[in-house]
Amino acid sequence: MTARVVLVDDHRMFRSGVKAELDDSVTVVGEAPDVDAAITVIRQAKPDVVLLDVHLPGGNGNGGSDVITGCAGLETESGAPVRFLALSVSDAAEDVIAVIRSGARGYVTKTISPDDLVSAIHRVGEGDAVFSPRLAGFVLDAFGATAGEIAEVDEELDRLSAREREVMRLIARGYQYKEVAKELFISVKTVETHVSSVLRKLQLSSRHELTSWAMQRRLL
């Protein structure tokens, strides 16, 4: 399956660099340098995946988050929602939380290898979540899992379940999804389910650490 992708980044050099790296399984159908252009291009092209820089000029000053908000509810030709994969040089926790809470399905840093980027695009295009090791580490910190806080029931939004914590720890250790699956004796599909559930918690939780970062950025 070929994924249709829109590239949003204010650095032209970076856009052309990414375009050169992507293989045949990904088609770039549009590019945009700022928030307003991005919303126009995405609404027109209706891509499967938007590769979104976190820091962008224009809009309300919230960068990538503004693009996601501006494209809310948008669907592709086949009826699937347009999905967003955040791509950034920033390691700052508040940048990560802002873009994930706005609805991005994943977050990878710009130093990601071309192969990993392509597989991340496909994964997001299929509706799964993509966590870089760094994002996994941040999630463990933000949910207090490092300090031993574990949810009693899986549905609890403010803490990770024991299994989710295990998955996050392995991702933080640099394991791929299939390696995680093998290590925990579960299927890749189950790993994906856990990751998606963590993503959902990340977006919905009102945990203090999460909301205070968002508050600082005036997102709530």
User: Where along the sequence are the contacts to other proteins (CB under 8 A)?
Assistant: 89-92, 111, 133-134, 136-138, 140-141, 145-149, 169, 172-174
Which H or E run includes 184? helix 177-184
Token digits of residue 85: 């994969």
Nearer to other proteins, 32 or 139 (CB): 139
* CA Rg value for the chain: 17
Place of tokens 């899986």: 154
Nearer to other proteins, 70 or 217 (CB): 217
Distance in Å, CB of 217 to other proteins, minimum: 15
Distance in Å, CB of 97 to other proteins, minimum: 14
Give the span between the Cα atoms of 115 and 113, in whole angstroms.
Answer: 6
| Residue 54: DSSP 8-state | S
Q: Which of 178, 166, 112, 121 is nearest to 139 (CA)?
A: 166
Nearer to other proteins, 72 or 89 (CB): 89
Distance in Å, CB of 178 to other proteins, minimum: 11
Distance in Å, CB of 183 to other proteins, minimum: 9
Instruction: Give buried/exposed letters for 117-126 (b at 16+ CB in 10 A, else e).
Output: bbbbbbbbbe
Nearer to other proteins, 141 or 154 (CB): 141
